[in-house]
Amino acid sequence: TDELAVEIKSLGEPSLGLCMFKIYVFKFIGIIAIKCGHDLLNFAKPILLDKLITFVKEKDQKLIVGFFYIFLLSLSSLSQTLIIQHYYHGIFLVGNRMKIGLMTLIYKKSLKLSPSARKSTTVGEMTNLITTNTQTFESCVYHLIGIISTPLQIFISTWMLYKYLGYATFFGLASMLIFIPLNAFFAKKSKLIRQVKYKLQDTRIKLMNEILSGIRVIKFYGWEISFEKMVKKVRSSELMNLVKAAVLSTLSGFTWSCAPFVVAAVSFLAYILIDENNNLDPNTAFVSLTLFNMLRFPLNFIPYIIQGLVQLNVSLSRIRKFLLRDEIKEEDISHKNQDECAVKVDNVTFGWSKIQPLLNNLNFDVKKKELIAIIGKVGSGKSSLLSGLLGEMHKLNDGELNINGSTAYVSQQAWIQNATIKNNILFNLPLIEDQYQQIIEACCLLPDLAILPSGDKTEIGEKGINLSGGQKQRISLARSLYSNADIYMLDDPLSAVDSHVGKQIFDKVIGPQGLLKNKTRLFVTNSLSFLAQCDRIIMLENGSIVQIGDYQELQSKPGKFLEFLKSFLDIKEASQDYIKNFSENNEKVEDSKQIETNVDQVVSKRIEKTFGKKEKLGEKLIEKEKIQSGNVKLNVFLEYLKACRLWLSFIFIFLYMLSTASDMGSSYWLSNWSNEASRNKNKLLEIYSNFSNYSNLTKESTVDQSRFFRLGIYALLGFSKSFISFCANIFFVGLYIKASRTLHDKLLSSVMKGNLRFFESTPIGRIVNRFTKDVEATEDSIPYSIKSLLECFLGLISTVTIISTSTPLFLIALVPITAFYIFVQRYFVPSNRQLKRMLSASKSPIFSHFSECQAGVSTIRAYNAQNRFIKIMQDNIDEYLAHYYCNTVSNRWLALRLEIIGNIITITAALFAILDRTTLSAGLAGLSISISLTISGNLNWFVRTLSEFEANITSVERIIEYFEIKHEPEWSIDETKPKSDWPKNGNISFNNYSVKYREELDWVLKNLNIKINPGEKIGIVGRTGAGKSSLTLGLFRMLEYYSGDIIIDDVDIEKIGLHVLRHKLTIIPQDSVIFSGTIRMNLDPFEKYSDEEIWNTLELAHLKDFVMGLEKKLDHECSEGGENLSVGQRQLICLARALLRKTKILILDEATASVDHNTDELIQQTIRTQFSECTVLTIAHRLNTIMDYSRIIVLDNGQIIEFDTPKNLLSNSKSTFYSMAQHAGLIHT
């Protein structure tokens, strides 16, 4: 952050706000002009009202004059209606353009972040910027226009009031000055609170992203409850800040709601004190009432402007800070065309941060078409070297780095997109069928495609969740081949495949005779058996190149390489000697090869059928997001009310009804007062008014006392209305905060209980969308909609009541008006509701694509595919915009018709007042017409808020939808809970056990019958995709479709709680998952163990020296996904987790695939000693690690084809295991 601060200072404080202003200034000017025109026309109403009241009072005027005034009122109202719809259409389009522009900008920036910037910016924070902060710009246009239009409305209202009240107006307006410093204080505090709230929201989203990314590990370890508590803790802090912000907002709203009646009361007080002859008549009273009502809106809107500008300022600051973060410097890498040199590194130092070097003084050249092997121990810098060459690290000196050609990259942990296998390989490039077929054959993918439900059309879940590690790695390799690049960066691509397939891939793809023989290859590997076929070898140790040369050269002279190689050969020879002790004559290798050939032929026939077939069951994994249709179901409303507490909701509604009653009372009182004043005074009086003024003057001698009495009652009623509203709003804050907490916690609990199928078929972005936009709706837009809806509904009821009691004939006209209104409302709301649902669903692909790309950003940059992915993001945004535009224009369709209905009501009220002027008092006529002038806005706002409420309540509908997802079985069952020391022995039996991932798919394991004795060490081998990892998923009950049973120490695991089972098993999974936080937290998230136990465990996991060398030791911060650790180090941390738990049964799922052979041997020794009395199941690709195991299971296509001791299996030269050992170089042919 210090570096960032220095850079920003040197840039001269660039302003995102100024930049946005320059882009959109002319659009803003056009919209402001439209709004000002509307505001000016709005003031024709009080002038015409004055004329109409005079007309009613003066009975001798001709009726045609009254009709003329009504015509002018109709004309001005219609003009206003048309203008205001253009205005709203304009602000929504501009706001959305600003939002979409920033979303695209943030996405583009996220693809350019430097390593240090990426380390300090989490995916959660970036997601929050795109979902929440950009949303502020959509609503800010309204507030920004308000900065101009609000003062204009206040100025014109004041000028017109001056015409009636004289200097008394300024006394009233001066009283507003007390509200300005008060609201400035509220705004300042609100900004600080919102900044904290956004940071907490970032933390929560980041945590949810990590939980969803590592859900398998969390379920393996039974950590759901503990992680749930962590999220709830952050959420509680977030809600506390939300409460503070809501209370401040309510206080601000209260002060401004008091403003109109305070201004009116002070103005009238000054008016009657200035001149004792000043009094009310209907003209003065109701023109003033109208003007004060017109003044009420801009005054009430001021707190929303302040709140909106505070949010805008916070969002601007956050987005600006992100956009100014450090970017990868493309100039660090030159791309000069050098004849024979593909890669030139001359005295280059790399580091993940700008101040701490990791790779020092690198010097080497790579010629074109050369195959360079890069070797070294765990953490020596092998993967970092490739990252540095790809520009993913900071270049810390002036050394020269030249890359001559395009690059392709196969990362150590394969990045797989949520797409079909074919699209993952094509990577948005056009299909060339022959090349494609050749590549999938070379990458040994044909047998896998034959097994998968729809061949290469099978959809892959996010992060390849429904593929084995080997399959993911080979698809990643196939992607690199299809890109047809010049230089290939291969980061241990064979670590996740078994030795048989690894050798085939090396021969067909990477090696001297492979598809890449004419390409430059930098090949990081822990498989030292391939070194002899490489042109040169680079050996790294502690971030430096210690030796470089060809295999013969390095082998012939003493040094680090020879020591490293010798230890590997010692391990290999030990395995070979071990095999020789129980091997018989190993002659008939040809038989096993013949079997392989026959198998391959059969597979090829199957694959031909696979590619020709149409879509079948299982092709689609990711389910399309469900979009509800029809009315929002009653249970959705009930669920929200239940979350709010039903009886508390009724109290809130009752308080709002009291507030409306106070407002109505003040209007009637004003009518009475003005009529009395008119009868008792013949003078032409100058004015009073806002909400309510009443006077009960009966005698000349009591005029003064009566005026002050009326004023006192008016002030009391006005204050009552505001105070009751304030109490109701404070009460409401508690209601919706409780509802938001309840819904979030139930959503979180339901998702954490979701089964594996749910997480495979649902993109992370879609789930995160529930925890961001939908949860935010429960604490922001839904409460706002409910409050606005209630205010509008009660306002409409009071308006219709006042007009009907003033002019009963209006009730006749009300019937057709109401019918038309209901027709429009019923026609509009269902369409708008469905459009809103579609709009909500169209946001999920944006968030899914964004979070997916953040996981594979280094791969995207390596292939120079940024523009392709930006295009995908833009397509997703275009889809969203199509729904947004339909939603916006449908709102304008509605508003136009509602405004016309409102205008008809105003004209009808005026018409009946004119026709009934012989019996109607001027006071009641003025009350009826002045109140009707507000109905147009109320009607518009009511249906808009009704549709907004129905649209927003779909967020609750979407949250409730996730309450009903399919859950795993119970975590704990007291009735069947085994003894605390279970399992004592570690005896495991599989009885006719079959399992499949989904009901419609084939069985992945078929009729397994295995009995594993206590303390046995069982190796599990087989081709990738044979069902090895599925066996462990079955043991942990992660798959729900199964038959048969698994018995552990005489307990059927199906009958006990999941957490009871999973807490008694330990797994070191294939994918090492590291959560952001300290090393201590990653080893012991819930602080069960002492520091001494943790250090002992680190020593056993061969990590102690590394952790001791860190500045903060156990408190060293791991970045999101463990990005600041090597993959090998991550796997060792996972090993340390297992050592801490030390249960009776241990499962290792290719747990040492990413470490070098020497470290692997040390780990195996640790497992042999520390788990000597435990039952161990090991899925292994390195066969030498399981040669001393009790028995070996060989799986093929979900069936056990061999299950015996290594001795017996290797005694049979026709056995599959014998063939695998031979390919691994453990048997001399």
Quote the pLDDT of residue 702.
45
Write down the pLDDT at residue 8: 46
* Peptide bond connecting 983 to the previous residue in cis, omega within 30 degrees of 0: yes
Q: What is the DSSP string of 658-712?
A: HHHHHHHHHHHHHHHHHHHHHHH--S------SS-------SGGGHHHHHHHHHH
pLDDT digit string, tens, across residues 1046-1073: 888 888 888 888 888 888 888 888 777 8
What is the reported pLDDT for 583? Answer: 47
Indicate whether 822 and 929 sit together in one domain: yes
Sign of the CA dihedral with 916 first, then 921, 926, and 931 last: negative
Which residue segment(s) compose the domain that 1080 sits in?
1074-1142
Q: Give percent above pLDDT 90 in the chain.
A: 5
Say if residue 696 is in the same domain as residue 769.
yes
According to the model, what pLDDT value does residue 315 have? 87
Q: End of a domain among 1142, 1160, 1186?
A: 1142
For residue 1041, give the 3-state DSSP assignment.
strand
Checking if the pLDDT of 624 tops 60, the result is no
Could you tell me what percent of the chain has a pLDDT over 70? 85
pLDDT of residue 2: 43
Residues near 690 by beta carbon (within 8 Å), at least 6 away in sequence: 260, 261, 263, 264, 288, 289, 291, 292, 293, 295, 296, 718
Q: How many domains does the chain have?
A: 4
Please give the structure tokens belonging to residue 417. 């997109």
Asked if 1144 and 1175 count as a contact pair (C-beta separation under 8 A), the reply is: yes
DSSP 330: G
Contacts of residue 490, Cβ cutoff 8 Å, sequence gap at least 6: 410, 477, 480, 510, 521, 522, 523, 524
* Helix (H) / strand (E) containing 885: helix 866-915
| Whether residue 550 sits in one domain with residue 420 | yes
CA atoms of 228 and 234, how far apart (whole Å): 10
Lowest-pLDDT range, 476-490, 532-546, 735-749, 992-1006?
992-1006
Environment class of 440 (CB within 10 Å of its CB; exposed 0-12, middle 13-18, buried 19+) = buried
- 168 lies in a domain? yes
Q: Does position 333 have pLDDT exceeding 70, yes or no?
A: yes
Q: What is the pLDDT of residues 497-536, one digit of tens each?
A: 777 778 888 889 998 888 998 999 999 988 777 888 889 9
What residues have CB less than 8 Å from 25, skipping those under 6 apart? none
Is residue 207 assigned to a domain?
Answer: yes
User: Residue 1124's closest CA among 495, 626, 384, 623?
Assistant: 384
1086: confidence class by pLDDT, cuts 50, 70, 90: confident
395-409: burial string, b at 16+ Cβ within 10 Å, e else: bbeebebbbbeebbb
Q: Which of 103-112, 283-292, 696-705, 1187-1196 has the lowest mean pLDDT?
A: 696-705
Beta bridge partners of 490: 410, 523
Residue 850 above 50 pLDDT?
Answer: yes
Nearest-angstrom CA–CA distance, 124 and 1151 = 29
How confident is the model at residue 149, as a pLDDT? 86
> For position 489, what pLDDT does the model report?
92
Residues 6+ apart with CB under 8 A from 1029: 468, 469, 1070, 1149, 1179
Note the pLDDT of residue 278. 64
Domain boundary at 1142, 1166, 1187, which? 1142
Q: Is residue 627 part of a domain?
A: no
User: Which residue, among 150, 174, 158, 175, has the nearest Cα to 262 in the 3D structure?
Assistant: 175
56 within domain boundaries: yes
Residues 1028 and 959 both lie in one domain: no
Ordered DSSP codes for 142-162: HHHHHHHHHHHHHHHHHHHHH
Q: Which residues contact 1163 (CB under 8 A, 6 or more apart)?
A: 1101, 1102, 1132, 1135, 1151, 1152, 1155
Contact at 8 Å (CB) between 1150 and 1128? Answer: no
Residues 718/688, Cβ–Cβ less than 8 Å = no
What's the pLDDT score for residue 481? 92
3-state secondary structure 508-569: HHHCCCCCCCCCEEEEECCCHHHHHHCCEEEEEECCEEEEEECHHHHHHCCCHHHHHHHHHH
Q: What is the pLDDT of residue 286?
A: 65
Closest CA to 195 of 245, 234, 243: 245
User: Which residue would you say has higher pLDDT here, 825 or 402?
Assistant: 402
Cα distances (Å, whole numbers) of residue 224 to 215, 667, 1059, 1136: 9, 59, 9, 20
Q: Label each residue of 1098-1154 as H, E or C.
A: HHHCCCHHHHHCCCCHHHCEECHHHCCCCHHHHHHHHHHHHHHHCCCEEEEECCCCC
1193 SS3 class = strand
Helix 16-42 vs helix 63-110: angle between axes, to the nearest 10 degrees? 170
Q: Is residue 980 part of a domain?
A: no
pLDDT exceeds cutoff 90 at 688: no
For range 483-493, the mean pLDDT: 90
Q: Are 274 and 215 part of one and the same domain?
A: yes
**Are 920 and 859 members of one domain?**
yes
Rounded CA separation 912/806 (Å): 10
How many CB atoms neighbour CB 39 within 10 A?
22
Whether residue 626 is contained in a domain is answered as no
For 75, 352, 374, 566, 1125, the CA distances from 381, given in Å and listed in that order, are 78, 11, 10, 21, 10
- For residue 544, being part of any structural domain is answered with yes
Q: What are phi and psi of 410, to 5 degrees?
A: -115, 105
Q: Say whether pLDDT at 327 is over 50.
A: yes
pLDDT at 680 over 70: no
Rounded CA-CA distance 551/528 in Å is: 11
787 and 935, same domain (yes or no):
yes
Q: What residues pair up with 373 in beta bridges, in sequence order?
A: 523, 537
Beta-carbon contacts of 960 under 8 Å, excluding residues fewer than 6 positions away, are: 635, 636, 639
CA-to-CA distance for 98 and 899, rounded, in angstroms?
28
Q: How confident is the model at residue 178 (pLDDT cuts 50, 70, 90)?
A: confident
Q: Are 305 and 146 in contact (CB under 8 A)?
A: yes
Those residues whose C-beta lies under 8 Å from the C-beta of residue 874, and which sit 6 or more positions away, are: 104
Q: How far apart are CA 508 and CA 442, in angstroms?
A: 6
The reply to whether 640 and 511 lie within a common domain is no
pLDDT at 787 over 80: yes
Residue 19: which CATH number?
1.20.1560.10
pLDDT tens, residue by residue, 573-622:
555 555 555 544 443 333 333 333 333 333 333 334 334 444 444 555 55
| pTM for this model (two decimals) | 0.69
More confident residue, 1044 or 799: 1044
Element (H, E) at 1020: strand 1017-1022
The Cα–Cα gap between 872 and 866 comes to 10
Intra-chain end-to-end CA distance of the chain, in Å: 61
For 962, list phi and psi in degrees, rounded to 5: -80, -10
Residue 498: closest CA among 90, 134, 1020: 1020
Shared domain for 1100 and 1001, answered yes or no, is: no
> Burial, 884: exposed, middle or buried (Cβ in 10 Å; 0-12, 13-18, 19+)?
buried
Q: In angstroms, rounded to a whole number, what is the distance separating the alpha carbons of residues 1073 and 217?
A: 7
Closest CA to 163 of 59, 43, 298: 43
- In the prediction, which pLDDT does 522 show? 92
DSSP 573-585: HHHHHHHHHH---
Q: What is the pLDDT of residue 612?
A: 42
Residue with the larger pLDDT of the pair 399 and 686: 399
Does one domain contain both 1035 and 1091? no
Instruction: Categorize the per-residue pLDDT at 628 as very low, low, confident or very high, splitting at 50, 70 and 90.
Output: low
Residue where a domain terminates, one of 916, 932, 963: 963
Chain-wide mean pLDDT for the chain?
Answer: 79
pLDDT (tens digit, 9 = 90+) per residue, 47-68?
887 787 777 777 777 888 888 8
Identify which has the larger pLDDT, 1045 or 461: 1045
Torsion angle, alpha carbons of 339, 506, 548, 574, to 10: -170
| Judgement on whether residues 512 and 661 belong to the same structural domain of the protein | no
- What CATH number does residue 471 fall under? 3.40.50.300
Between 1117 and 705, residue with greater pLDDT: 1117
- Is there a single domain that holds both residue 237 and residue 365? no
In this prediction, residue 1186 has a pLDDT band, given cuts at 50, 70 and 90, of confident
pLDDT at residue 13 is higher than 70 = no
Q: Which of 158-162, 189-193, 278-282, 676-680 has the lowest mean pLDDT?
A: 676-680
DSSP state of 619: S
Reply yes or no on whether the pLDDT at 374 is more than 80: yes
Owner of token pair 């004015």: 687
Per-residue burial over 606-616, b if 16 or more Cβ lie within 10 Å, else e, is ebeebbeeeee
Question: What pLDDT, on a 0 to 100 scale, did the predictor assign at position 575?
Answer: 54
> Order of strands across the sheet with 1051-1052?
1005-1012, 988-996, 1041-1048, 1051-1052
Whether 972 maps to a domain, the answer reads no
